[in-house]
Structure 1
Amino acid sequence: MEHYGKTLKQLRISRNMSQQEVCAEIMSRSNLSRFENQEYIPGFDKVIQLLANLGVEMDEFMYINNNYHISHYERLYEQLIHAENRRNHSELMEAAAKIAVEKGTNRGFYELYLLSQMALLENKLPAAVTIAQISDEMRTVLLDTENWLFTDFRRLNNFLRIFNLEEAVFLYRRAVKEFEKYEAFPRENNIRIYLALNLGQMLAEHGQQAQAVTHFEQAKEYAGKKNKLFQKLTIEASLERVVQASAETKDNKGFKELLVVLSEMGYTDTVAALKNYQK
C-alpha cells in the first residue's frame, strides 16, 4: 500500500506505542513490522483496525500520508470553485488549463475537466466542449445511479444546470431523501446547502420566485444548523435579489451593513463573492 506502512510507523512512534500494542488481536507483530518496512501489504480491514488502535481516522491518515496536503484533485477542484465563485476570469482560465492537462488521468479528473469547461461556458469564455457534449456525458451517469454515494451528491451539485428545471427538481428531491443516510457523515460539509441554493437560483431564473424562496429558506435553515456563516450570507444575498425583483423598493440596507461589517473584519474575498451573487 504505497508508503502507508511508513506513515503508520511514524504515527505509532509519535503515540509512543509498541508494535504489540498496535497490532494486538489484528495481526502478528512480525507482519506489522513487515508492513512498516514496506515488505507486506495487509488487507484493508486490517489497516482500518490498526488505525483504530492508534486513534486515527482514515481521512486524517490519508492527509498525513500525503505530507499534510490535500490531493492534487482536491487542490485543482478548490482552485476552480474559488475562481468561479468570484467570477475571476483569469484565475478560472488558469485553473481550467491545469485541469485539462490531467483529464486523461482517471474518471474523476475527466469529470472535473467537464466541470471546468462548463464554468468557462457559463462565464462566456472559450471552451473546448459544448454544454450539449457535457450533458451527453453526465446526464446518464446521474439519472441512472441507483444507490447514491457521497460523491454522487457532489456530482449532482456540480452538474445540476445541465438538466431542465423539471429534472433538476426531481433529482434534488431524490438527493434530499438519499442524503438522510449521510446526516452524520463527517465529510457532509456544504453540499446539501448548495444543492438547495443552486436549485433556488434555477427556479428564480425561470420566474418561479415563490418556489425559489422556499428552497433558499431550506438552504438557510440547513446552513444555520451547521453554523455556516458564509453560506447563510450567500443565501441572504440570493433571497434579497428575488425579493427585490418583485418589490417596488430596492432598499437592501441590512445586507449592505453586513458587507461593511465583514469588510471591517478583513473578509474581503467573502464580500467580493457575495457582491457577485447580487449581480
Structure 2
Amino acid sequence: MRWDYGKVYKEIRQAKGLTQEEVCGSFLNRSTLTRIEKGEIIPRFDNMVFLLKQIDMTLSEFKYICNEYYPSERRQIITKMQNNISYSNTEELEKLLIDCQNYLKNHNDIPIRNIYHRGLVILEIRKNGIKNNQALQILAENIWKELEVKDQWYGSELALLANIIFYFNDEAFPLITEKILVSLDRFKNYRDIKPFQLSLLSNLSTIYLQKGLIKDCEQLTQKILTLSKELKVYNSLGFAQVRLGICQRDESLIDKGLTLLKLTEEDDLVAMLEKEVEQFYKQK
C-alpha cells in the first residue's frame, strides 16, 4: 500500500491532463494542493472528498490505485462476502472464514470481525440447520447482545440481523421486524445496502412462510422480486418467483423460478426450494 497518496493524486491529476488551477477552482487554494501533493500536509476529509470529485474518482478506486492496482487483503474479504451474501457454497464460505481469522490476528477491524461472525452463523445453518441447534443459538445470542443496545441500525447492523432473524421468539419478532423495515426504508435510496436488504427480506419471508403468515410472506416477497429485478440478481429473482408462486398458488410462476435457477446452476437453492414447494404448495 502506497502512503504517499498526495503524490499518487498528482500522478492521476497529471495523467488526466488537469492543472492545479482547474482542480482547485474557488474551493481550495492552489498552495494547499501543492503541499498535499508534496506530502507536506494531510488533507482534511472535506478537501479530500472535493479533490477526488474533481478528478472524477471514487475513494474506493483511489485506494485501489494506492494499493498498486490490486485490492487489499481487507477489500478482498469484503468483496467475497458481498458477492456471496445469500447463497455461496460451504467450501467457499469456510475459506472466507479462514481469511478473516488470519487477517484479524494482526488487525483490530470491526467490519471484518462482523463479517466473520456473520459467516459463522451462515456456515452453522448450512451444516446443521436451524432447529435444535445449540451452537447456532449461542452465536445468535452473542451477536444480539451487541445489536440490542444500539439506538439505530445502519448497514452493518442490518447485515448481521439478516443472519440471526430466525432467533427471535414469537413475542419479540413483530417488534424487531417493524424496526428492521423502518431501517430499510430509511436506506431505500442507498444502493450499497440493497444486497443486505435482499438477504434480510428473504429470511423474513421464510419465517413468515413457516409460521403460515402467507399474506405477510407475499408482501415481502414482492419487495424481493422488485429489488432483484433492479439489481439483476438472478438467484434472488428465481427465489422470489418460486416463493411468490407458493403464496399465490401459481404453479407457472414456481416453474419459471426453478427453471431460471437451474439455468444459472443454483443447485443447492433449487433443492431447498423444491422441498419448500413440496411442503407448502403440494401438501395444501
1:171 maps to which residue? 176
Structure 2 counterpart of 1:108, one-letter code? P
1:150 maps to which residue? 155
C-alpha contact (below 8 Å) 2:209/2:217 kept by paired residues:
yes
1:35 maps to which residue? 36
1:50 maps to which residue? 51
Structure 2, unaligned stretches of length 5 or more?
129-133, 276-284
Task: Supply the distance in 2 between the matched residues of 1:250 and 1:183 (Cα, whole angstroms).
Answer: 31
Q: 1:77 to 1:242 in 2, by over 3 A?
A: farther
Q: Which moved more, 1:81-90 or 1:149-158?
A: 81-90
C-alpha contact (below 8 Å) 1:12/1:54 kept by paired residues:
yes
2:131 maps to which residue? none
Q: CA deviation at 1:240?
A: 4.5
C-alpha contact (below 8 Å) 1:168/1:199 kept by paired residues:
no
Matched, 1:114 2:117: yes
1:255 maps to which residue? 257
What pairs with 1:1-20 in structure 2 (closer than 5 Å)? 2-20=3-21
Q: 3-state SS of the aligned residue for 1:111?
A: helix
- Alignment root-mean-square deviation, CA: 3.4
Same amino acid, percent of matched pairs: 19
Q: 3-state SS of the aligned residue for 2:162?
A: helix
What does the per-residue CA deviation read over 1:107-164, in whole Å, with 9 as the maximum and x for residues that have no partner?
Answer: 2222222222212321236xxx933442343213322222333333223224433433
What pairs with 1:54-69 in structure 2 (closer than 5 Å)? 54-69=55-70
2:97 maps to which residue? 96
Matched, 1:272 2:267: yes
Q: 3-state SS of the aligned residue for 2:12?
A: helix
Q: CA deviation at 1:12?
A: 0.8
C-alpha contact (below 8 Å) 1:216/1:238 kept by paired residues:
yes
What pairs with 1:148-227 in structure 2 (closer than 5 Å)? 148-227=153-232
Q: 3-state SS of the aligned residue for 2:151?
A: coil
Task: Supply the distance in 2 between the matched residues of 1:251 and 1:173 (Cα, whole angstroms).
Answer: 29
Structure 2 counterpart of 1:272, one-letter code? D
Structure 1 counterpart of 2:157, one-letter code? D
Q: 1:73 to 1:167 in 2, by over 3 A?
A: farther
Aligned length: 266
Task: Supply the distance in 2 between the matched residues of 1:142 and 1:240 (Cα, whole angstroms).
Answer: 34
Structure 1, unaligned stretches of length 5 or more?
none
C-alpha contact (below 8 Å) 1:233/1:274 kept by paired residues:
no
Q: 1:163 to 1:218 in 2, by over 3 A?
A: same
C-alpha contact (below 8 Å) 2:23/2:55 kept by paired residues:
yes
